[in-house]
Structure 1
């Protein structure tokens, strides 16, 4: 293998380096090196152009594999779009660019998913979570990014992995990458880890979290899918000891259906997240404002803080803050990023919302409505 592909002029080792400098390389940088190494180790002729372009991107960013990967993603997505947008008079015989064939639409088969699992070909981006009332970053949500991700995003990988029986394995790989990358976040931040109910019920989860290199009080388990009725009781059995150890619980994209409200009452999460569907244009829609105000009150009754996802304008932010939504994230407040230097800018003192959550995690009962 060509060792010159990782420029070393700044003292940064290549993937797998074990020297003294290697111990100081941020873990997310090591992830990036490993992904680059895995791609460049390929020998298939159809991927030759992709590998050559990746070498060029690495050479253009000596010692900064995160930037090289980011630039490479832009290039590969462009190739995929060009290939997919070509006229296609005969679908079965349509010509596809060989590089696009290798890196285009995610989740096209079990082999591609297994390659990701075996090669660790994913990285973690973090998006900052802000306290809306007082300002400041209080947490970061871990978001999985795949080297060969196209416009469908990471969700396609997880959906297709589940279809071939590898959904839980892929989620655990993503969790492992997130926990490793979180070592480079400011240490006061809560780290939101996305989990499906199925993975919450996986017998591997308690052991994984027990040995995770994060203090339990920094972990926020975030349920990303609605519960089925028969999942509630087993889920409570799993979550109760985890939360007793100090971990928090968030329910993602909470709906207003009666079943969703009943599940939230039973789970009593620390955070109820409202999605872009309610946030978009809330400044110009009184009905959405009334609904969010009701959810804030519901959260108060059940001991949960409200957090808004997908804040994209100053007007949306102003209304959500006025409605006493406690926390929020979105492109207006901060984009997801794999840049460790940007993570460092989120450092700051613990805020009121963190202290509130810490009191509840310490065992003080939340305010309830008696139900």
Structure 2
């Protein structure tokens, strides 16, 4: 766990140095107790050849385990004075003649390992009172260690959950109809990723989890491939979602190059910050030159949408459901939406409202100039074969 040099390992090393210098001993070290073995994770020593991080030995043969079991005291000024200690392999190390060890206990009571210091000679000054210092330092060590353990456990859980989805070629991708609000004719569809229902989490969270373990780009590319596979099965355009970070990868641009781009609307999420708009526009330019349209997603849900719109000049502005749902009964939402429609018209973009769920909302959206809509009023995400051409009659909820 602590093999890489991080801020946490530096903090732990500082604690070990404090223990070694305060007790006047030759070395201090942190161990991990895992199963049947004890492994040295970090060492601070005046003699680099004494102990090395990564060394491992059976727990049953260690001073630390004997101390945890109560067979030895936690503070030994002279190891040779304890017959039980002399039976253990550690006693055969000529420079280990004084020893202090206390457990590193996590917040749930689990013993992570031990926080230890050893002297190259007997030390009559070493006394039981010195355990108090070691207890304080070991508690500080547990506070530093625990967040990393939780993060590692979280990453392991995500990897185990996502692994089968990645191996199967990505998430299931369904299509939600995008409809002209006035004529109710379907003009396109959005490809939406769906993950196992047992996970009980929205797709955005699933993609964020994948990025947390370094699999985000791969998962997004697999979803794009599955979305593109629907182009041969439906007429009109298909909107596909991608994060700016994934779009900037060479693997993504190579994949998009193989698509019939005149039928693709690429939707960038508003939630992710763009660090370099010039680089983003440079990636988009050849794709848009071949007919691909750009959409900015979730407009109205956060603070970055206006910057996205101004700096990328999208072809489509998609209004977030937070300013769409209930617009038929909320004049404030109407004013906000009308202002965004005016912005879209000024930049030459069309407007798609997400989350259209009632006829009242659809009517209000038409009144403020919104062109297109999608939402449960017209249907949830379904297979390509289930899409209709005409949605004059709303889909039953």
TM-score by length of 2: 0.57
Contact 1:121 1:147 in 2 (8 A): no
Partner of 1:110: 159
How has the CA–CA distance of structure 1 residues 155 and 261 changed in structure 2, closer, same or farther, with 3 Å as cutoff? closer
Are 1:346 and 2:389 an aligned pair? Answer: yes
1:160-193 superposed Cα distances (whole Å, 9 cap, x missing partner): 11110100100011111111133211x2x11000
Partner of 2:241: 194
Q: Give structure 1 stretches of 5+ with no counterpart.
A: 1-89, 93-104, 349-371
Judging by fraction of residues, say which structure has more strand.
2
How many corresponding residue pairs?
240
Are 1:220 and 2:265 an aligned pair? Answer: yes
How has the CA–CA distance of structure 1 residues 255 and 211 changed in structure 2, closer, same or farther, with 3 Å as cutoff? same
Deviation at 1:239, TM superposition (A): 0.6
CA distance in 2 between counterparts of 1:225 and 1:259 reads 6
Partner of 2:168: 119
Name which structure has the greater RCO, CA cutoff 8 Å, separation 6+: 1
Partner of 1:304: 349
CA distance in 2 between counterparts of 1:173 and 1:279 reads 30
Partner of 1:3: none
Deviation at 1:148, TM superposition (A): 4.9
Contact 1:197 1:231 in 2 (8 A): no
Partner of 2:382: 337
How has the CA–CA distance of structure 1 residues 106 and 294 changed in structure 2, closer, same or farther, with 3 Å as cutoff? farther
Contact 1:137 1:347 in 2 (8 A): yes
Equivalent residues in 2 for 1:1-371 (5 A)? 108-120=157-169, 122-185=171-234, 187=235, 189-212=236-259, 215-255=260-300, 259-338=304-383, 340-343=384-387, 345-346=388-389
Larger Rg: 2
Q: Provide the aligned C-alpha RMSD in A.
A: 2.5
1:262-319 superposed Cα distances (whole Å, 9 cap, x missing partner): 3311211011111110012111111110111111111011111111000111100110
Q: Give structure 2 stretches of 5+ with no counterpart.
A: 1-107, 111-153, 392-397
Contact 1:197 1:225 in 2 (8 A): no
Deviates more, 1:144-153 or 1:120-129: 144-153
SS of structure 2 residue aligned to 1:108? helix
CA distance in 2 between counterparts of 1:255 and 1:235 reads 21
Contact 1:108 1:160 in 2 (8 A): no
CA distance in 2 between counterparts of 1:107 and 1:154 reads 19
